Structure formats: C-alpha cells, structure tokens
Amino acid sequence: MTTGETIMTDDTEAFDILRRVSTATITTVLLKKGLRSVWVRGAKPLTPGRERIVGRAFTLRFVPAREDLATPASWASPISTRAAIEQMPEGCIAVVDAMGVKDAGIFGDILCARMSQRKVAALVTDGVIRDLVGVLSTGLPVWADGYAAPPSVAGLTFVGWQEAIGCGGVAVFPDDVIVLDQDGAVLIPQALLQDVLAEAAEQERMEDWIMSEVGRGVPLPGLYPMNEATKARYLEFKKRAVA
C-alpha cells in the first residue's frame, strides 16, 4: 500500500470505488502483487449488461454425490442449502464450490427467489443452475457455467457453508471481496483490499488516458507500456485534470 494512504474500514466507501473499476483492471493490479489465480473459471453472467456488483463472499461447498447422503430427503437436513441460505447476510455474494459439475443444477428458482428476498447481492458458481427461466425471473444476478435440468443431488452432496472453498480454481475464504462484471468473477483477498483500493483507481485512470491516446492515433510502442516520455505526458495530463 502507498505510504500515507488512508485506510478505508467502511465497506460502503470501498465498494463504491470498486464499482468503478473493471475486473480486468483488478486482475492486473493483483498480478503485479504475484496473484495469478483470482478469476473464477466458468463463472459467466447469465444476464448480459448488468452493472458491476461488489460484495463479501459467503461460501458454500459441494462434494461428489454419495448415494446415502445425496437424496431428496437431505434437502430438509440441518446441513442443507436451505439452511445455508437463511444464514446469508444482506449484500453478500454467495460463492458456491460445485467442482465444475455441469449436469446437476445447484440451485433452482425457489432457492434463488429466497436469496433475492434476503437481498443477497449475487450468486457465483463454477457449476450450473436449474429452472433457468424461473431463476432469471427472480432478479437474482447469477454468474454460472450454464444450466441443467437435474437437481444437485443427481451429482453432488452439499456439506457446509462459511468455510474455505475452491471455486473455479480460486481459493475463496469467507469475507473475501468478490467483484462481478461482464468479464466474470474476480476475488480480492481481504488482506489485500487496501492495496487494491490504493492502486486500482489509478490503474483505471491511466488506461483510460492510454485509450484516449490510441484514439488520437498514437502508436503503441512507448505508449503501452509507457516509456519515460509518455509517463511525463501522463503526469502533465493529471496535473491539468486536478487544476
């Protein structure tokens, strides 16, 4: 984090900043810090054109189906997706480890409707959902790898929530920050949130300026990445913008 940078402890202010930063920019910032696996593979928005969404991760985990456990009767168990949904706080993003299974829908319209009622911000999974038309009608934003008719117990066993999971190749811990847009789902480790806040807005500003230069016909060599002369022009642009 930049020396002297103000630390933000309020999610509202931090999330307002992140809603103005693309997931592409966030991955670049985290790559500079050595993190390569922060983009959830397979999680794509089911509805195009949504505004960027930011929230804390509420994790759920499935394991391979075992016939004595993965039954319709398990839906009434104290350890069930139904019970987990009732623990989700307002504004969280449900991140579900479905192990990339694509032939069993983890949630359908009824569960998504309840999540929408509880004001869950979004659902993210490396698996699929079912009851597509009904799920879309609930208004719950969903990032998933598609949809399938069979229920979760056809291929998965639900085992718990609010524990470390692996979703789409990304290690997700409860309360990590998730950012969603048309490029997918990106994780910001909560320990690195302040660093990302300190750098992401500047990265976005710089890339916007570079795009404006490309629009003027400036050649890429020396512009992207910047050489010293280009950096000087960019700094002068920033001074004029602040003045």
Residue 76 pLDDT level (bands cut at 50, 70, 90)? confident
Model pLDDT, residue 243? 66
CA dihedral of residues 89, 17, 167, 41 (deg, nearest 10)? 140
pLDDT class of 7 with cuts at 50, 70, 90: very low
Are 132 and 221 contained in the same domain? no
Same domain, yes or no, for 141 and 219? no
Domain identity same for 126 and 218: no
Look at the chain and report how many structural domains it folds into. Answer: 2
Please tell me whether residues 174 and 231 are part of one structural domain: no
- CB neighbourhood size of 16 (10 A): 12
pLDDT of residue 101: 97
Quick one: 170 and 207 in the same domain? no
Q: What is the pLDDT of residue 222?
A: 95
For residue 152, which of 110, 104, 96 has the smallest C-alpha distance? 104
The per-residue pLDDT for 79 is: 86
Q: What is the pLDDT of residues 56-65, one digit of tens each?
A: 999 999 999 9
pTM here is 0.88
What domain range includes position 213?
201-242
**118 and 220 co-located in one domain:** no
pLDDT for residue 123 is more than 80? yes
> What does the pLDDT read at residue 70?
66
Q: 178 and 101 in one domain?
A: yes
Quick check: 149 pLDDT over 90? yes
Tens digits of residue pLDDT in 15-40: 999 999 999 999 999 999 999 999 99
The stretch 117-125 carries a mean pLDDT of: 98
Main-chain phi, psi angles of 226, to 5 degrees: -75, 140
Do 158 and 46 lie in one domain? The reply is yes
Distance of CA 207 to the CA centre of its chain: 22
